[in-house]
Structure 1
Amino acid sequence: MTEVISLMDIDDDDNNKLNNNSNSNSNNKGKNVVVPGEPKATPWVEKYRPQSLADVAAHRDIVDTIDRLTSENRLPHLLLYGPPGTGKTSTILAVARKLYGAQYHNMILELNASDDRGIDVVRQQIQDFASTQSFSFGAKASVKLILLDEADAMTKDAQFALRRVIEKYTRNTRFALICNHVNKIIPALQSRCTRFRFAPLDSFHVTERLKHVIEAEKLDVPEAGLAALVRLSNGDMRKALNILQSTHMASQQITEEAVYLCTGNPLPKDIEQISYWLLNESFTESFKRISEMKTRKGLALVDIVREVTMFVFKIKMPSDIRVQLINDMADIEYRLSLACNDRLQLGSLIASFTRARSALVAAAN
């Protein structure tokens, strides 16, 4: 949903002149747009990036709002935030194409703030670009656009400096900040932008976009393979396309097993088997069998824990036992993220299920 903080009219100026070529592609960093004629090795993430606002797969409420503001010549500074692969960069690049057409690369400065994150970048590159006059198209003067991807990686000093630059050059420049964590953007910057939250894509939109790519590339993808792609993407379109392309490079037919094998994730049938051992076998037997499967199939324990956690939601058990079990597995996953010993954490996982089994037996009696 949208959260509109403020709107700023674009100032018209019939006397604006063409700026020089110093603001051209040489300053562009971050995510680039694929143009016709690029080699076939182009990643599908870029090859199938939406070229217009109408092509953006989801978030139609946000896209339509931005489209209307653009058409009415009332584009504000923008702050687009949300998880990766949800269409933030694609949306703002589509806006740029609509605004500038063939002059696109002269009118936009792209910076990846995770690389260009310091105050010097704000004082030099950004301020130099913002301070120059913008192109004039007919009777309307078009503002330039500065795109700051991964803006949450900027230092606090750089963000405070950017606040003043935004105020000073509002007349001829608009800023689009893109980030995953909006809480890392200082309030002073947030208040100067219209904020839009991009939620993870639902399975319908991911499926439809994947079908479009599958048809365009003439791939052999059974329904089970497509379902596996959607499931593993977790609402991240970029991740879904990367998995699809990687699996295609490894296998002619993109089956469910090929997808899981390519990503290194445990198959659903493996998780069912592991869960059966955890719920029915002794500690020693469970440890032996899970260790053997983990080694034979090259599975990571952290992936097993995540998948088993999801499987627990499908099992019928009292809510208090389920909550305790899920909390235990969350603790195990956290310890694994700190590089704790796998064998110890596997033992902890089996012990958690042993306690849960004892609680289930006690509850039944």
Structure 2
Amino acid sequence: MAEVISPMDIDDSNPSQGPNGNKGKAVASSGGAPPAHTKATPWVEKFRPQSLADVAAHRDIIDTIDRLTSENKMPHLLLYGPPGTGKTSTILAVARKLFGSQMHNMVLELNASDERGIDVVRQQIQDFASTQSFSFGYLFVSVHTFAKFISSFNHQQLVDLGMFVSAKSMVKLVLLDEADAMTKDAQFALRRVIERYTKNTRFALICNNVNKIIPALQSRCTRFRFAPLEPVHVTERLKHVITSEGLDVTEDGLAALVRLSNGDMRKSLNILQSTHMASQQITEEAVYLCTGNPLPKDIEQISYWLLNEPFTFSFQKISEMKATKGLALVDIVREVTMFVFKIKMPSDVRVHLINDLADIEYRLTFGCNDKLQLGSVISTFTRARSALVAAAK
């Protein structure tokens, strides 16, 4: 009987590359505990969920995908929604569940914002999708490696090893992150590749804006929308990180992290880590100081000036606060807009005020003069104040 060859002898692929030497990102990871991390590792990666059970929210979506993979019925997937809502973490957890330690052989991960042209579809993706892989119990090999391996064995030796009995074709996974950045030509080419290699390859597309994905691609995928995370889910995950890292976080500091994240888990972790690097105790003031956002008490003060003081006084005071605290006018306008929702006023006055503030925020994003736009903000509130006085009479 021939000597049994170890997995390292059979699998000659470079773990740092995708199969066939593709340029896809290395996504190798064990299916169990998270990999070791250094202190310099961003917490976004350090605390990325390693399994579907660890994903913070969207349990209905997670349970559906989990059931499909367990029953070996996984379709092509299109995961879309705002950043930081768990799309990439979910599909990576699916890959770990399906392939375990052989994930680097069975998954091709590409970021479509970097590699967005038709050549990527015709070369890397098609080359990867066109080769089949086989499973021998715990071992995965490509069809080319399999052919090279069996060339030195006769039929009886292979039967003795039990390989013919347990060999079965394995479905591979192509993960396309930021797929909405792909050109239209590349998307049409990808549609044809998906049709051609469905038998042995599944495709998972991830994007923020689903409207930029052509209908022909959307119709070939099962779509799941990842909405912004609820504050309770962000809070729960942040508490886990705080406990794991032994951080000193006050209640108002935690509330500030959740408020500024706006349902983006990645953003909340980045703010938490950067604030921890700047301050030993993470308080509300430390969080706002680190991010450059105006404090809620500053917004209340600015709103009071806008609603009660004359134009010149308001302009001078807001300008002084901007200079002293290093605030950006666009952040002030954004926070004041949110504060308007808390003020009691007629609905028609509120709508006009919010629309005017939205126009000012839009102009600021294109680099319009801060002083002119600050004058517009004050004038907008002056008109709203006049409307409130008229309504009161």
State TM-score, norm by structure 1: 0.92
1:362 deviation in Å?
1.0
State the alpha-carbon separation in 1 of the partners of residues 67 and 109 from structure 2: 23
1:36 deviation in Å?
2.5
State the alpha-carbon separation in 2 of the partners of residues 185 and 298 from structure 1: 40
After superposition, residues 188-337 of structure 1 pair within 5 angstroms as 188-337=216-365
State the alpha-carbon separation in 2 of the partners of residues 158 and 120 from structure 1: 8
Is this contact kept in 1: 2:85–2:263, CA < 8 A?
yes
Using the TM superposition, name which of 34-43 and 256-265 deviates more. Answer: 34-43
Deviations 1:114-143 (A, max 9, x none): 000000000000001111112314345321
Write the letter of the residue equivalent to 2:17.
N
Tell me the secondary structure at the aligned position of residue 124 of structure 1.
helix
Is this contact kept in 2: 1:82–1:179, CA < 8 A?
yes
Is this contact kept in 2: 1:76–1:194, CA < 8 A?
yes
Match 2:17 to one of 11, 16, 25: 25
After superposition, residues 62-77 of structure 1 pair within 5 angstroms as 62-77=61-76
* Inter-CA distance 137–31: structure 2 relative to 1 (3 Å threshold): closer
1:39 deviation in Å?
2.0
1:20 deviation in Å?
5.7
State the alpha-carbon separation in 2 of the partners of residues 189 and 278 from structure 1: 50
State the alpha-carbon separation in 1 of the partners of residues 313 and 26 from structure 2: 51
Is this contact kept in 2: 1:107–1:135, CA < 8 A?
no
Per the alignment, residue 8 of structure 1 pairs with none
Deviations 1:166-219 (A, max 9, x none): 011111110000000000000000010000000000000000000000000000
Per the alignment, residue 84 of structure 1 pairs with 83
Deviations 1:85-140 (A, max 9, x none): 00000000000000001101111011000000000000000001111112314345
1:28 deviation in Å?
2.6
Per the alignment, residue 5 of structure 2 pairs with none
Using the TM superposition, name which of 46-55 and 29-38 deviates more. Answer: 29-38
Is this contact kept in 2: 1:19–1:133, CA < 8 A?
no
Is this contact kept in 2: 1:30–1:111, CA < 8 A?
no
**Percent of aligned positions with the same letter in both sequences?**
82
Tell me the secondary structure at the aligned position of residue 204 of structure 2.
strand
Structure 2 residue ranges without an equivalent (≥5): 1-9, 138-165
Write the letter of the residue equivalent to 1:125.
Q
Deviations 1:243-292 (A, max 9, x none): 00000000000000000000000000000000000001000000000000
Write the letter of the residue equivalent to 1:25.
Q
Deviations 1:304-353 (A, max 9, x none): 00100010011111111111000100000011011100000000000000
State the alpha-carbon separation in 2 of the partners of residues 162 and 269 from structure 1: 52
State the alpha-carbon separation in 2 of the partners of residues 165 and 156 from structure 1: 14
After superposition, residues 48-127 of structure 1 pair within 5 angstroms as 48-127=47-126
State the alpha-carbon separation in 1 of the partners of residues 261 and 134 from structure 2: 41
State the alpha-carbon separation in 2 of the partners of residues 134 and 179 from structure 1: 28
State the alpha-carbon separation in 1 of the partners of residues 306 and 232 from structure 2: 34
* Inter-CA distance 324–359: structure 2 relative to 1 (3 Å threshold): same
State the alpha-carbon separation in 1 of the partners of residues 326 and 134 from structure 2: 56
Per the alignment, residue 10 of structure 1 pairs with none
State the alpha-carbon separation in 1 of the partners of residues 71 and 36 from structure 2: 34
Per the alignment, residue 42 of structure 2 pairs with 43
Is this contact kept in 2: 1:122–1:162, CA < 8 A?
yes
Q: RMSD between aligned alpha carbons? A: 1.6
Match 1:143 to one of 163, 171, 182: 171
Per the alignment, residue 159 of structure 1 pairs with 187
After superposition, residues 181-192 of structure 1 pair within 5 angstroms as 181-192=209-220
1:363 deviation in Å?
1.0
Is this contact kept in 2: 1:30–1:149, CA < 8 A?
no
Structure 1 residue ranges without an equivalent (≥5): 1-17
Write the letter of the residue equivalent to 2:341.
F
Per the alignment, residue 372 of structure 2 pairs with 344
Is this contact kept in 2: 1:19–1:135, CA < 8 A?
no
Is this contact kept in 2: 1:225–1:256, CA < 8 A?
yes
Tell me the secondary structure at the aligned position of residue 76 of structure 1.
coil
State the alpha-carbon separation in 2 of the partners of residues 208 and 109 from structure 1: 32
State the alpha-carbon separation in 2 of the partners of residues 181 and 231 from structure 1: 24
State the alpha-carbon separation in 1 of the partners of residues 240 and 349 from structure 2: 44
